[in-house]
């Protein structure tokens, strides 16, 4: 079993298992945010990026059966010859609180992944509201205002975002700023 995974290998799995357009965009958004947060906190950019890219790898295969979400991704990675406990644990931890999951976030990578994947939903929901539907002019204070309105994009887990900022050792507005910049860096790819 392989204890490490390279970025090209991760992209290969990404292309093999995830076809749904919005899931691919969400996974790439989570990847670039994780890379930016790793850079800001001195963590391993490549590894954190790959955790972000692959965190929802099983969603097409599960076809809505979310009770096995996360666990099926770990099975897929094992079926493809990987044994990377730190990544498995992070992928399992991002479904904390979901039905069928008894995993808990335990370390910085796990808290930050759960927050990064949630902030993509908040930023995307805000961008769609804008007349130009572009991320170009998005300001941190606008997203922060939406963060504070629980009825807006209600499925976005604000606690996970707050916890992630804390584990990254930064203020919420800095966490949001880094996330917006990261998504903006792939704006063409994600159609924003």
From the list 35-43, 68-76, 116-124, 125-133, the region that binds Fe ion by CB under 5 A is: 116-124
What's the min distance (Å) between Cβ of 26 and Fe ion? 6
The footprint of Fe ion on residues 50-79 (CB under 5 A) is: 56
| Max CA distance (Å), the chain | 50
Residue 88, SS3 per DSSP: helix
Give the C-alpha separation, 106 to 7, whole Å.
25
CA 149 to chain centre: 21
Closest residue to bound Fe ion by CB = 117
What's the min distance (Å) between Cβ of 55 and Fe ion? 5
Note whether 117 binds Fe ion by CB under 5 A: yes
Give the C-alpha separation, 100 to 17, whole Å.
22
From the list 36-44, 112-120, 145-153, 176-184, the region that binds Fe ion by CB under 5 A is: 112-120
What's the min distance (Å) between Cβ of 58 and Fe ion? 11
What's the min distance (Å) between Cβ of 94 and Fe ion? 7
Give the C-alpha separation, 149 to 140, whole Å.
15
Lookup: tokens for 42:
């001195």
Give the C-alpha separation, 65 to 42, whole Å.
36
From the list 48-56, 60-68, 153-161, 173-181, the region that binds Fe ion by CB under 5 A is: 48-56
For the purposes of burial, counting CB atoms within 10 Å of the CB of 46, is it exposed (0-12), middle (13-18) or buried (19 or more)? middle
The footprint of Fe ion on residues 171-190 (CB under 5 A) is: none
Of 56 and 58, CB closest to Fe ion: 56
Give the C-alpha separation, 75 to 78, whole Å.
5
Of 108 and 117, CB closest to Fe ion: 117
Note whether 96 binds Fe ion by CB under 5 A: no
For the purposes of burial, counting CB atoms within 10 Å of the CB of 1, is it exposed (0-12), middle (13-18) or buried (19 or more)? exposed
What's the min distance (Å) between Cβ of 56 and Fe ion? 4
Of 136 and 159, CB closest to Fe ion: 159
Applying CB under 5 A, the site for Fe ion has a residue count of 2
Binding site for Fe ion (CB under 5 A): 56, 117
């Amino acid at each position: 079993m392989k204890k490490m995974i390279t970025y090209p290998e991760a992209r290969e799995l990404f292309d093999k298992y995830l076809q749904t357009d919005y899931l691919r965009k969400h996974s790439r958004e989570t990847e670039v945010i994780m890379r930016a947060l790793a850079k800001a906190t001195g963590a391993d950019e490549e590894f954190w990026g790959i955790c972000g890219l692959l965190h929802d790898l099983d969603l097409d295969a599960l076809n809505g059966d979310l009770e096995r979400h996360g666990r099926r991704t770990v099975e897929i990675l094992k079926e493809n010859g990987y044994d990377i406990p730190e990544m498995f644990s992070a992928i399992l931890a991002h479904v904390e609180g979901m039905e069928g999951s008894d995993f808990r976030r335990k370390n910085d990578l796990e808290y930050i992944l759960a927050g990064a994947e949630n902030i993509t939903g908040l930023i995307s929901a805000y961008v769609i509201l804008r007349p130009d539907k572009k991320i170009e002019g998005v300001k941190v204070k606008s997203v922060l205002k939406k963060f504070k309105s629980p009825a807006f994009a209600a499925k976005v887990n604000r606690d996970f975002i707050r916890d992630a900022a804390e584990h990254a050792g930064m203020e919420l507005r800095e966490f949001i700023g880094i996330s917006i910049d990261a998504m903006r860096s792939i704006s063409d790819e994600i159609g924003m």
